[in-house]
Amino acid sequence: MRIERELRRITDGLAPDDDLARMSGRQLADLAHRHGRLNAETLNAVHGMTVLRNLAAHAHPDRDNLDTARALDYLQLADAVLYALRN
């Protein structure tokens, strides 16, 4: 949510508000990149976060190994992406 909120700030004014409201984080990142507000490395990081988020959201507790260490790694990556978005 924090990453998506930051992407919404970055893309403010790049498309009509109704369109922006319907965009996913990945779509917002793509839009920001197309308009030069996001570099390729940060775009790739946002895409990676999207993949990780989807894997975690749809993980099966009996076959997927999601533990505290992996959750903490995800949070560290999210903080790094937020730092990149803000700078």
SS3 64: coil
pLDDT tens by residue, 15-73 = 999 999 999 999 999 999 999 999 999 999 999 898 888 877 777 666 667 777 778 88
Return the residue matching tokens 């970055």.
10
Return the residue matching tokens 């839009």.
31
With beta carbons less than 8 A apart as the criterion, state whether 29 and 37 touch.
no
**What is the spatial distance between Cα 83 and Cα 12, in angstroms, rounded to a whole number?**
18
Q: What is the largest CA-CA distance in the chain?
A: 45
